[in-house]
Amino acid sequence: MATSMTKRLRRTPMGFFGENGGAWRQVPQPPRYFSTSVQVCGIYPFGVGTGRPVDGSPLGRDMQTGSAICTDHDALYRANIISSPSAFEFGLNGNGKSSTAQTLIGGQVGRGLTPGVFDPIKGEHVPWIQSLGGTVFSIGPRATHQLNLMSPGPLGIAAQRIGGTVGAELLLLARAKSIDLVKLCVRINRGPEEPVTDIEETAIEAIVDTILEHTGPTEVPVTADLLRAFDEVSPLMLARTGQATAETFHSRFRRLGETLRSLMTGQMGQMLSGANSVEFNPGNPGGFCFDTSSIGVGNTKLLSAAMLSTWSLGMDAIDAHWELAQHESAKAAEAHANGEVYEPQVTWGGYTTMFDEFWYPLRACEGMVDLVDGLSRTNRSVGTADLKISHSPKDLLSLRNPDDREKAKGFIERSGLLLLMALSREDLRELAKVRSLTQAEIDLVAGFNRASSWKGHRRIKGTKGAPPGAGKVLLKISERVGIPVQMLRTPTQMRLHDTDTRYQQ
């Protein structure tokens, strides 16, 4: 029967009476019980955590509820959940710290962030960055690339492309960076026992300025020019250092000359003055990776110089990328105003940096803590999400220098997101002094690596194995209960990242 179009149902306090009106005549009354507030609160409705984060990189599943978890420090920062887009990952060897980092960063890169990877010791991120089309700089005395302390670097390239006032400002910044790098290398080469004096720093500035003055617009100075400039003293050098003649200059700065000469010899010399120096092309969405794994971990001076230089270069690359993107965006806006269309050649989607084996440079390199401290305080302003990876919180909390210890503690305090893989109870207790961890969280993380039994199945040749704690991570943000996650690995990732090759043979 066709439904009548006449509106005959009428609203009453019980609903609409009539066919299909749905009126109720009564509401079922559940039996009630009396209790006092101190008893009825035991029926606690907030015991079950609500929805898990589903914004950000796909990470895996919640080990408690089996729910999907998607998050990362960039997404959390953008959602105003954490105050700085930074993360710190801790975990004992063999539990998949690097894989976890790649899962996290990979999601961010897929969303348009550019990766910047600092891979000091193992070189395990190189194939991944290569597959992304990023630039890999393998640095070392006999590696593919060498360092050029005098190169204007990415800032210089950006300055050339942009020109004008901004270009001039970038060149000034590039000059300052060169001076800083030379000072750092001189300091590293001498070691902590022999500091660089203030007048020596003035001399270094004068030497660098002399070199830059005598370099043509199409020429690129090299590290060896430092020594040449020292030998052929310029009036600028004399004026700045208050010396009358080249002889008095050489006499006054004899020790600096020796240090510069020493920098140019041996493995350090090979690394700093090779022909194939690191030259950036800012704006590559595949990002970059600095690989210093060819330098032996025992060669502290060399590795320190390499790492300090690459971190500085990396940050310059990000700044240069930003300036170029701004410049291109301005060009597009100008073209639009003139009724034309201009497709920007460089766009900005933000950067995500990864500092793997973070413990090493902090322990090996004097001055590294300050450099990173500065970075971790400003990573919002340079548009960088950063992830630091280390074995144990103790790596940071037991540095020799008390000032360094305090600053390193600050890295953990300021990290918006903590990723805790299998760690010892002692490590976790140390960490709990800096960031709140509940006993249940400590027990959980300490138990990640607990084998289910002494007996296991022997691996078949060619297959990958995994310890009990592999891929288990506790995600933690400030003052909130952590979320334990079993990380996922995608086929692409597994193809590109394998640190277990020798055991598979």
Partner 1 sequence: MSDMVIPRKRVRFGNWLPTTKATLGGLTVIGWGVLLTGVMAMVVFLVVGWWVTGLLTLVLALAVDAVFIIRWGDPTSGRTAAARILDRRIDAVRHKDGTNRYKTGLFTELPDEALTALPGMLAGLEEIPGVDGTGEEYVLLEHRGETRAPLLAATFSCDPDGTALLPQDQIDSQVSAFGGWIVTLSQDTAIEGAVIVVDSAQESTEPLVAKIDSEVSSAAPLVAQRQLMEGARALSGTYADVEVFASVVWNAKELADDVEDAAAEIGAKLPQHRADLAAAGAGSPVLTTSQDLARAVRVAYRPDRAREFGSDDLAGLTFRMKVTEAGPDEFDDSARRICYHDGVASMTAMMVAPPMMHITEDYLNRLFKPNGKFLRKRTAVFYRPLTPGAAVKAAKKLRDGARRSATAKGQPSEFDQYRQELAKATERDLVTGASMTAFAIEVTVTFEPTKRGIRDATQELKNILEGTGISYRFVETDTAAGFHSTLPLGMLPWAYATVAQTITDRTN
User: What number of other Cβ atoms are within 10 A of residue 44's Cβ?
Assistant: 8
Does position 275 interact with partner 1 (CB under 8 A)? The reply is no
Residue among 34, 198, 217, 454 that touches partner 1 (CB under 8 A): 34
CA distances from 294 to 143, 146, 270 (A): 7, 12, 13
Tell me which residues in 334-353 interact with partner 1 (CB under 8 A). Answer: 347, 349
- For residue 454, state whether it binds partner 1 (rule: CB under 8 A): no
CB of 283 to partner 1, least distance (A): 11
Residue closer to partner 1 by CB (options 41, 297) is 41
Specify whether the CB–CB gap between 296 and 271 falls below 8 A.
Answer: no
- Binding to partner 1, residues 130-149 (CB under 8 A): 131-134
Which residues within the stretch 150-179 sit at the binding site for partner 1 (CB under 8 A)? none
Nearer to partner 1, 89 or 404 (CB): 89
Is 14 among the residues that bind partner 1 (CB under 8 A)? yes
Distances (CA, A) of 418 to 160, 375, 387, 431: 40, 18, 9, 11
Contacts with partner 1: how many residues (CB under 8 A)?
95
Fill in the DSSP letter of residue 416: S
Identity of the residue, 108 or 304, whose beta carbon is nearer to partner 1 in the bound complex: 108
Integer Rg of the chain from CA: 29
The DSSP symbol for 390 reads E
| Residues numbered 104-123 forming contacts with partner 1, rule: CB under 8 A | 106-107, 109-112
Indicate the DSSP class of residue 138.
E
Amino acid occupying residue 62: D
Q: Which of 300, 329, 493, 499: binder of partner 1 (CB under 8 A)?
A: 493
**Binds partner 1 (CB under 8 A): choice among 1, 45, 218, 400:** 45
Give per-residue burial for 29-43: e unless 16+ CB within 10 Å, then b.
eeeeeeeeeeeeeee
Helix (H, G, I), strand (E, B) or coil at 322: helix
Half-sphere exposure of 361 (CA within 13 A, CB side): 29
Residue selected from 29, 338, 381, 505 as contacting partner 1 according to rule CB under 8 A: 29
Q: Among residues 122, 336, 380, 480, which is the contact residue for partner 1, using CB under 8 A?
A: 480
Instruction: List the beta bridge partners of residue 15.
Output: 12
Please tell me whether residue 19 binds partner 1 under the rule CB under 8 A: yes
Q: Which is nearer to partner 1, 110 or 163 (CB)?
A: 110
Query: Restricting to residues 282-301, which ones interact with partner 1 according to CB under 8 A?
Result: 285-286
CB of 134 to partner 1, least distance (A): 8
What type of residue sits at position 255? R
Residue 106 CA to residue 475 CA, distance in Å, equals: 17
From 62-70, 189-197, 290-298, 410-418, give the range in contact with partner 1 by CB under 8 A. 62-70
Phi, psi of 128 (to 5 degrees): -65, -50
Helix (H, G, I), strand (E, B) or coil at 145: strand
Among 37, 381, 453, 505, binds partner 1 (CB under 8 A): 37
- Residue 36 interacting with partner 1 (CB under 8 A): yes
Specify the stretch interacting with partner 1 by CB under 8 A; choose among 168-176, 272-280, 455-463, 481-489: 481-489
Site for partner 1 in 353-382 (CB under 8 A): none
Measured from the CB of residue 99, what is the shortest distance to partner 1 in angstroms? 12
Q: Which of 104, 131, 157, 109 is nearest to 349 (CA)?
A: 109
| Helix H or strand E encompassing 473 | strand 472-477
Which lies closer to partner 1 via its Cβ, residue 26 or residue 338?
A: 26
Cβ atoms within 10 Å of 408's Cβ, excluding its own: 26
Q: Applying CB under 8 A, which part among 33-41, 88-96, 135-143, 383-391 lies near partner 1?
A: 33-41
Q: Is 26 in the site for partner 1 (CB under 8 A)?
A: yes
7 binds partner 1 (CB under 8 A): yes
**Coil, strand or helix at 168:** helix
If one asks whether residue 65 binds partner 1 (CB under 8 A), the answer comes out as yes
Of 303, 345, 490, 503, the residue at the interface with partner 1 (CB under 8 A) is: 490
Q: How many CB atoms lie within 10 A of CB 200?
A: 19
Least distance (Å) between residue 92 CB and partner 1: 17
Selected binder of partner 1 within 103, 223, 390, 415 (CB under 8 A): 103
H or E stretch covering 248: helix 246-252
How far apart CA 176 and CA 364 sit, in angstroms, is 25
Whole-angstrom Cα distance, residue 156 to residue 206? 19
Measured from the CB of residue 96, what is the shortest distance to partner 1 in angstroms? 15
